[in-house]
């Protein structure tokens, strides 16, 4: 089954697509989406609104439902159709859920989501794209229970071995996105593969990424090392607030003046005058006691940009497991799906979804759908807005990756 490329754009399939951070960056770098696979309805609603409907990024095949889909169901139900795509797909991109591997979480070997890496391998084997891009947390490179089982192999090595066995030249690397214009310290395992590529061809990904970084950012008039303040200083609550359009009983901030090139860039194509409310810039409800605690921390706590240790939390009467007061003059720690982890550097409150999205490099026109947060057992089945943002690949990095991957198509045979 051959595909007609629009404007001769290379074709990509995004699996484990989440809310679309990777797809957005690839769209911006000139890739044509064929389809995306995302199981969770909340995340798919965001992807659907922005990239399927509004940007028409995907040339969706008639045989595949345009809805949230389970990768296991897709590979089992549409095996024949996927095999028919061989030779026409330039890239399969995406990364399975990372919670079971994350060093910041419980890191459970028996987490059922860990097995989805084998669904990724099966999908790649069926489609045989010219290139592949795999992303996961740094913890993916560490074996479980290495102390008791010295011969334990990390999942990263299992994936590498399987992909090499079906003909891919593979280059694994751990990349810190803060080195590529993202105001966030976020280290991720990135694996690039080239079908039937000669030895070393896949390793050109990181080399080219670094080589082209400065010129890429200069062309967009962006700094190499933006700070938290560069990202969100125009979104202060003190600018004023209006009722949140899609969250009854809550208030959202209005735009302040742009004060950095990063802000100018992310506000392109957005109605961003002072009378406009940025999407998902809704402030949390804090108790009076919590506000007083936050005010005291901002006034007296000397630690910025680092998670407060147990002694510090006890000293300041903080009961939650983790909290970091952001430093406006440096990059942020890794944005997660837990909004209570970070205290705004200037105002006694946690970050809004939009502020997290800014730190993740999502443009302001990108609208997030579904509820803002979830609690209790609902965390197992729902992916609210904060989690969508925290789980995403920063689009600005994905855009740079997309430019390099287009160049690498010449290595695939």
Contacts of 21 (CB under 8 A, 6+ apart): 360, 362, 392, 393, 394, 395, 398
* Full DSSP string of 296-312: HHHHH----SSB--HHH
237 near 256, Cβ under 8 Å? no
- The residue ranges of DSSP E strands in 109-265, in sequence order, are 131-137, 168-176, 187-195, 241-243, 251-253
Gap between the Cα atoms of 85 and 149, Å rounded: 41
Contact 192, 406 (CB under 8 A): no
Beta bridge partners of 241: 253
Please state, in angstroms and rounded to a whole number, the distance separating the CA atoms of residues 96 and 175.
17
CA distances from 381 to 40, 41, 43, 134 (A): 8, 10, 11, 24
Place of tokens 């949140």: 244
DSSP for 213-243 reads HHHHHHHTT--SS--HHHHHTT--GGG-EEE
Would you give the end-to-end CA distance of the chain in angstroms? 18
Q: Hey, how many other C-beta atoms are within 10 angstroms of the C-beta on 24?
A: 28
Ordered alpha helix ranges (H), 302-352? 310-315
CB 372 within 8 A of CB 386: yes
Q: Using CA atoms, how far apart are residues 366 and 55, in angstroms rounded to an integer?
A: 11
Instruction: Show which residues are catalytic.
Output: 98
Percent helix / strand / coil, the chain, rounded to 5: 40, 15, 50
| DSSP letter for each residue of 23-64 | HHHHHHTTPEEEEEE---HHHHHHHIIIIIIIS--B---TTS
What residues are paired with 94 via a beta bridge? 134
């Amino acid at each position: 089954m051959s595909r007609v490329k629009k404007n001769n754009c290379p074709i990509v399939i995004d699996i484990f697509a989440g809310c679309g951070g990777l797809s957005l960056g690839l769209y911006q770098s000139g890739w044509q989406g064929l389809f995306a696979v995302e199981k969770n309805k909340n995340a798919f609603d965001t992807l659907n609104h922005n990239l399927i409907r509004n940007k028409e990024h995907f040339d969706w095949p008639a045989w595949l439902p345009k809805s949230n889909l389970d990768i296991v169901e897709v590979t089992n139900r549409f095996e024949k159709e996927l095999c028919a795509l061989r030779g026409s797909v330039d890239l399969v991109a995406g990364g399975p859920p990372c919670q079971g591997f994350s060093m910041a979480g419980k890191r459970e070997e028996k987490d059922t989501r860990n097995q989805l890496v084998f669904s990724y391998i099966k999908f790649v084997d069926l489609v045989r794209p010219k290139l592949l891009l795999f992303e996961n947390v740094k913890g993916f490179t560490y074996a479980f229970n290495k102390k008791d089982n010295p011969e334990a192999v990390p999942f990263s090595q299992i994936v590498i071995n399987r992909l090499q066995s079906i003909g891919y030249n593979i280059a694994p690397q751990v990349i810190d996105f803060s080195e590529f214009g993202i105001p966030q310290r976020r280290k991720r395992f990135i694996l690039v593969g080239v079908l039937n590529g000669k030895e070393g061809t896949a390793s050109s990904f990181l080399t080219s990424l670094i080589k082209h970084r400065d010129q890429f950012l200069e062309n967009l008039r962006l700094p190499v090392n933006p700070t938290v303040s560069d990202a969100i200083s125009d979104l202060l609550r003190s600018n004023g607030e209006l009722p949140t359009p899609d969250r009854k009983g809550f208030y959202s901030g209005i735009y302040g003046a742009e004060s950095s090139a990063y802000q100018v860039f992310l506000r392109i194509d957005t109605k961003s005058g002072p009378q406009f409310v940025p999407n998902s810039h809704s402030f949390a409800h804090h108790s009076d006691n919590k506000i007083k605690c936050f005010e005291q921390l901002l006034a007296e706590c000397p630690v910025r940009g680092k998670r407060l240790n147990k002694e510090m939390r006890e000293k300041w009467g903080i009961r939650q497991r983790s909290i970091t007061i952001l430093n406006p003059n440096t990059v942020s720690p890794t944005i997660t799906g837990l909004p209570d982890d970070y205290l705004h550097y200037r105002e006694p409150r946690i970050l809004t979804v939009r502020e997290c999205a800014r730190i993740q490099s999502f443009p302001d026109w990108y609208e997030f759908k579904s509820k803002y947060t979830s609690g209790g057992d609902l965390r197992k089945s729902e992916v609210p807005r904060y989690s969508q943002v925290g789980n995403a690949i920063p689009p600005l990095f994905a855009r740079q990756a997309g430019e390099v991957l287009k160049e690498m198509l010449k290595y695939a045979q």
